[in-house]
Amino acid sequence: MRKVPPYLITAVFLIILVSLTGCERTVTGSEKAAVLAFSEATTDNLLAGLAANDYTQFSRDFDDELQARLPSADFTTLTQDVDIILGSYLSRNVTQVTKADEFYVVAYQARFEQAEAVTITVAFHDTIHSIATLSIDSAEMSWSAFQNR
């Protein structure tokens, strides 16, 4: 059986997310500022937990479904892969904020020690602001919270 490339899994996941949520639109102005007001602090916490290898901190803002999809054992594998393949997280910039039905999706261009072009995508529930999904994609590594299930 042929192995499916990881980046393809992430791409398919994002296409499915967009298609399931119907209409997607770019968020701008005061709405974008409001989304970034909650998403930036949550993403800071998420990445700090990833860097510290602290599952409790990393998953603190996950919704129940994502919490079930990404247990502690899978987190250990993720942190090992990130450390080996990408290195330490350095910085990020917001590249796009979109709204798709009940989700705000924030895409970041991130830099790591060993990879300068890493896309991190975080989808948030629009009302409760918990994280519904997460993906990390680069030429060196592709990972999605939904790839192993």
Domains in the chain: ranges and CATH:
6-142 (3.10.450.590)
Q: Provide the terminal-to-terminal Cα distance of the chain, rounded to the nearest Å.
A: 18
**Dihedral pair phi/psi, residue 113, rounded to 5°:** -55, -40
Q: Is the pLDDT of residue 2 over 50?
A: no
pTM: 0.82
pLDDT band at 149 (very low <50, low <70, confident <90, very high): very low
Residue 104 — very low, low, confident or very high, per pLDDT cuts 50/70/90? very high
- Identity of the residue numbered 51: A
Q: Max Cα separation, the chain? A: 49
At residue 88, the pLDDT reads 95
Cα 134 from chain centroid (whole Å) = 3
Per the DSSP assignment, residues forming a β-bridge with 24 are: 100
Say if residues 124 and 134 touch (Cβ distance below 8 Å).
no
pLDDT at res. 19? 52
Give the model confidence (pLDDT) of 47-101 as tens digits: 999 999 999 999 999 999 999 999 998 999 999 999 999 999 999 999 999 999 8
Phi, psi of 70 (to 5 degrees): -125, 75
Q: Which range, of 6-10, 46-50, 115-119, averages the lowest pLDDT?
A: 6-10
